[in-house]
Structures are given as C-alpha cells and as structure tokens.
Amino acid sequence: DTGVSQDPRHKITKRGQNVTFRCDPISEHNRLYWYRQTLGQGPEFLTYFQNEAQLEKSRLLSDRFSAERPKGSFSTLEIQRTEQGDSAMYLCASSLGLAGVSADTQYFGPGTRLTVL
Amino acid sequence: AQKITQTQPGMFVQEKEAVTLDCTYDTSDQSYGLFWYKQPSSGEMIFLIYQGSYDEQNATEGRYSLNFQKARKSANLVISASQLGDSAMYFCAMREGNSSASKIIFGSGTRLSIRP
C-alpha cells in the first residue's frame, strides 16, 4: 500500500486562474477528506466524501471551490478564480469509514502547496 | 470557540530526553476521540496515537504515550527517549461524537526541536 498521494505537490498560479488538485486515497478506504492549512495553523476541514457522495462541506468552502469523487476512488478539488487568500497547503486524507467508531483514523497525503501571485 | 488548545508554540529538548506536549480540549459530548499527528518539514501529517473518551487505559504506541486526564480535559503527548527525527510540528486533534462521520478539529500545533 503506497498511502495517500496528491498531485501536484506544488502549484503557482496567477490570481483569477483556475486550479485543480487530485487526491488518490488508500485503496480500500471509503472516506476521503479535504483540508486546508495555512502557515502556522493546524489543518481546517473543507469537505468529505463517503464513497462518491459528498456528505459535509465546511462554510470555508466558498462557491469558488468544488470537489468531486466521481467513482468513489480518486477525488479532485477545483478552485475557480483564485485569490491570494487561497494560498495554502491543501491536504487530502482517507479513512476506512468504520461506521459508529470514533477511532476511524484519517491518513494524510503529502499535500499540495498552492501559491497565488 | 476554539476546541483544541496547544499552549506551547515551540519547544527545545535535548536528544534522549523525554518530552511532554500539552493539549487541552473543550467539548460537551461524552463520547469523543483524541488524536495526535506529527508533521515534518515535508508537510505530510503522520498519525501517531489515538485515545477514545471511554478508554480506561492511556494509549501507547512505541515511544509515544497519551496522558489522558478526562476531568481536566487534557490529552498530553509524551515522547520517551527523543530522537533527532522527532523534530517536527505536532498537532492535537479531536473528533466529537461516537460516529466516525464527523470532522476532526486540529489545534494550532507545537514545533518540537531536538538538540543533539
């Protein structure tokens, strides 16, 4: 098992451009999460999927953000009309999705660092 | 309201010494889970240890142990015999409720630096 992978690892873009990030979870994991982490802070939850269904979205996820997991495997996070405030590390995590068990550990990928100029 | 508080922004420890990283939390739920993650400079969040609110024993994983004091709402991470590779950011996190279908909330982290 190769763990959670994310692509690209780094992205530099100009304000107003659209960007898309990809996350490949651990193969048998049903749940997939997106977080955003700014410098000096802990990760903040953005959204998560149970298989292909998007079950929760944070208020941090503005209309410019959209996430998909079309076949319940990999996921994409798109940011439209990027702003300088979008500069952050975008982390993806996956978990088995153990129902009714709070110890459903999330395993994280290496992240995509976005810089908006 | 902030749910997870890590009061130590940075710590320096001599190699081979034990170190305790503080974490306090706030929740009105009776059932919750507490996690610690390590984030080296490479950026990846590495799961270290988990403690459930109903677990009677403190969790241990190798050199990591969690000093869980429920009445004080604290979940401090203890690293024994620190190594140079332990230098990293450490995040305490919590999931409220007894369902895995809820988000994890992270603290602001503690940067640990191990001196040779």
Across the A:B interface, residue pairs with CB atoms under 8 Å apart total 71
Query: Are B108 and A41 inside 8 Å of each other by CB?
Result: yes
Mean pLDDT of the A88-117 span:
87
The CA distances from residue A56 to A9, B15, B39, in Å, are 25, 43, 25
| Residue numbers of A between 66 and 85 with CB closer than 8 Å to B | none
Q: Taking the mean position of all CA atoms in its chain, how far away is CA B48?
A: 8
pLDDT band at B101 (very low <50, low <70, confident <90, very high): low
Does the beta carbon of A42 lie under 8 angstroms from any beta carbon of chain B? yes
Query: Are B45 and A113 inside 8 Å of each other by CB?
Result: no
Q: How many CB atoms lie within 10 A of CB B82?
A: 19
- Asked if B26 and B3 touch (Cβ cutoff 8 Å), the reply is yes
Determine the pLDDT at residue B32: 87
Cα separation, B100 vs B34, in Å, equals 12
Chain B residues touching residue A41 (CB < 8 angstroms): 108-109
Q: Is the pLDDT assigned to residue A69 strictly greater than 70?
A: yes
Chain segment B105-116, per-residue pLDDT in tens: 999 999 999 999
Does the beta carbon of A2 lie under 8 angstroms from any beta carbon of chain B? no
Chain segment B32-86, per-residue pLDDT in tens: 899 999 999 988 899 999 999 988 899 999 999 999 999 999 999 999 999 999 9
Q: Is the pLDDT assigned to residue A67 strictly greater than 80?
A: yes
First to last CA, chain A: 36
Q: Helix, strand or coil for residue A28?
A: coil
Chain A residues touching residue B52 (CB < 8 angstroms): 102-103
Query: Are B106 and A44 inside 8 Å of each other by CB?
Result: yes
Mean pLDDT of the A57-80 span:
92
Q: Is the pLDDT assigned to residue A98 strictly greater than 80?
A: no
Chain A residues touching residue B27 (CB < 8 angstroms): none
Smallest Cα–Cα separation from A96: which of A88, A107, A80, A111? Answer: A107
Chain B residues touching residue A98 (CB < 8 angstroms): 100
Query: Are B91 and A42 inside 8 Å of each other by CB?
Result: yes
Query: Are A104 and B104 inside 8 Å of each other by CB?
Result: no
Partner residue opposite B100 with nearest CB, options A91, A102, A108: A102
Cα separation, B35 vs B50, in Å, equals 5
